[in-house]
């Protein structure tokens, strides 16, 4: 194991004592949960360091045949490219780190698309955020994902990567046994789309000072060259038009929802709008120059969701008035919006707004006319 020294006066170095974990939950899992950057994203990709968003700790894995839980993953994370990252924490002295856990991790990589889709992932992100009660749209957009400019684009990218086997498997330990390193090195050379890595979070202590030094193992130059043959396609941006927007809407929704979206499109076209640039999901965005020159106030997506973008409005008298009246529409139509949501960009699924589509269109038309 590497040595770490504290530099005292007159360049005198004092060696810190190494620590082997005894309590996996406190010394590894809780440590990682509070410090996701202990997975060194800059070592995984020096040119574009990986950033992490937690989907869930103790993510349940269901048997696709029975629906019952088979086991759980210590952490399910995702990076800004929409690549799911499975993390298992194991102590050095836990022999399972080189036996059944390896098999479980390979099971995740091979069958992940049978366990989860983007709606399951969305619900688990929301579940993880319940303590602080932030909005999932705010969480993901503050994460600055690479995929387009909407939450739906990002979740579509995650699901697509999962279906293509583009995932990352990480063993998080204070020190990895040689047997596990040999397995990881072998797998990483053989698997073209899946990354298999070890993060050694080596821990040291001296005079009540505790230090953690994360080190990445498994990404040799040979492995990097293999992975580069099958990189995830850059999501880039897409230029939408009316025909493509409607075609994608028809593919993803029931006829009644599509007809209502067409009516909203016609309403927006009488004023000012712009298309989003998402790759997988199109969006139509209402613009009111009197309120703001470019911010989308109401967004309609081809997956049937409508967003009331309260968080784009400023603290001017006009903006506050528009926000209050838009919020009143949500309350009158029983969309479940709360005062806390007035600082966010909540989405309304078609199952909710579709029941009141005619009233919604009428109220939005009246609101636009008042502020145009």
Asked whether residue 187 falls in the same domain as residue 299, the answer is: no
Residues 94 and 31: their CA atoms lie apart, in Å, by: 18
| 233 located within any domain | no
Is there a contact between 172 and 218 (Cβ–Cβ < 8 Å)? no
Sign of the CA dihedral with 222 first, then 223, 226, and 228 last: negative
d(CA 86, CA 223): 19
| Span between the terminal Cα atoms of the chain, in Å | 68
Quote the domain boundaries for residue 288.
242-371
Task: Give the tens place of pLDDT for each residue, 37-52.
Answer: 999 999 988 888 899 9
User: Residue 185: its pLDDT value, please?
Assistant: 87
Q: In 3-state terms, the chain is what percent helix, strand and coil (to 5)? A: 45, 20, 35
Q: How many CB atoms lie within 10 A of CB 17?
A: 9
Q: Which residue has the higher pLDDT, 259 or 343?
A: 259
The answer as to whether 52 is a domain residue is yes
pTM to 2 decimal places: 0.66
Residues 210 and 317 reside in one and the same domain:
no
pLDDT at 106 over 60: yes
Question: Does 60 share its domain with 187?
Answer: yes
The reply to whether 76 falls in a domain is: yes
User: Whole-number mean pLDDT of the chain?
Assistant: 85
250 lies in the same domain as 104: no
- Is 364 part of any domain? yes
Nearest-angstrom CA–CA distance, 223 and 193: 11
165/270 same-domain check: no
Token couple for 136 = 């999932």
Give 282-295 pLDDT, tens digit per residue: 889 999 988 876 67
Q: Are residues 362 and 222 in the same domain?
A: no
Residue 268 Cα to chain centre, angstroms: 30
Which one of 228, 250, 282 terminates a domain? Answer: 228
Q: Cβ distance 166 to 228 under 8 Å? A: no
> Which residue did the predictor score with more confidence, 360 or 193?
360
Identify the residue with better confidence: 230 or 193: 193
169, 207: one domain? yes
Q: Are residues 220 and 367 in the same domain?
A: no
Domain boundary among 179, 203, 228: 228
Domain-embedded: residue 311 = yes
- pLDDT score of 48: 84
Tell me the pLDDT tens digit for each residue of 244-273: 999 999 999 999 999 999 999 999 999 999
Judge if 366 and 289 occupy the same domain: yes
Q: Is residue 182 part of a domain?
A: yes
By percentage, how much of the chain surpasses pLDDT 70?
88
Structural domain total, the chain: 2
pLDDT at 262: 96
Same domain membership, residue 190 and residue 50: yes
For the chain, give the percent of residues with pLDDT over 90: 40
Identify the CA nearest to 36 among candidates 85, 90, 97.
85
Q: Which of 169, 201, 213, 181 is nearest to 30 (CA)?
A: 201
Domain stop point among 194, 228, 262: 228
| Pairing mode, strands 273-275 and 283-286 | antiparallel
Say if residue 195 is in the same domain as residue 269.
no
Domain contains 237? no
Q: Report pLDDT for 220.
A: 64
What's the pLDDT score for residue 229? 55
168 inside domain: yes
Predicted confidence at residue 312, as pLDDT, reads: 81
Three-state DSSP class for 203? strand
Same domain, 135 and 259: no
């Amino acid at each position: 194991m590497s040595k770490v020294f504290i530099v005292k006066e007159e360049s005198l170095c004092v060696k810190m004592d190494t620590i082997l974990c005894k309590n996996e939950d406190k010394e590894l899992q809780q440590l990682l949960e509070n410090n996701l950057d202990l997975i060194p994203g800059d070592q995984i990709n020096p040119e574009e360091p990986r950033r992490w968003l937690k989907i869930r700790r103790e993510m349940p894995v269901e048997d696709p045949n029975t629906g019952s839980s088979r086991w759980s993953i210590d952490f399910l994370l995702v990076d800004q490219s929409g690549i799911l990252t499975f993390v298992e924490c194991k102590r050095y002295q836990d022999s399972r780190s080189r036996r059944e856990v390896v098999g479980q991790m390979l099971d995740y990589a091979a069958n992940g698309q049978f366990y989860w889709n983007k709606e399951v992932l969305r619900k688990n992100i929301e579940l993880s955020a319940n303590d602080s009660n932030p909005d999932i749209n705010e969480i993901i957009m503050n994460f600055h994902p690479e995929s387009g400019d909407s939450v739906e684009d990002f979740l579509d990218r995650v699901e697509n990567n999962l279906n293509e086997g583009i995932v990352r498997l990480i063993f998080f330990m204070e020190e990895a046994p040689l047997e596990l390193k040999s397995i990881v090195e072998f797998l990483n050379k053989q698997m073209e789309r899946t990354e298999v890595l070890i993060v050694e979070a080596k821990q040291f202590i001296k005079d009540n000072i505790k230090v953690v030094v994360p080190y990445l193992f498994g990404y040799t130059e040979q492995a990097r060259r293999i992975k580069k043959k099958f990189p995830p396609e850059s999501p880039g941006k897409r230029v939408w038009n009316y025909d493509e927007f409607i075609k994608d809407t028809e593919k993803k929704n029931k006829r009644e929802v599509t007809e209502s979206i067409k009516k909203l499109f016609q309403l927006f076209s009488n004023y000012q709008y712009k298309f989003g640039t998402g790759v997988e999901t199109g969006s139509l965005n209402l613009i009111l120059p009197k309120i703001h020159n470019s911010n989308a106030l109401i967004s309609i997506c081809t997956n049937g969701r409508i967003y009331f973008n309260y968080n784009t409005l400023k603290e001017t008298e006009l903006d506050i008035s528009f926000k209050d009246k838009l919020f009143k529409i949500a309350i009158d139509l029983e969309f479940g919006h709360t005062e806390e949501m007035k600082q966010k960009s909540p989405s309304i699924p078609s199952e909710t707004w579709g029941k009141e589509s005619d009233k919604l269109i009428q109220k939005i038309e009246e609101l636009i006319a008042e502020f145009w």
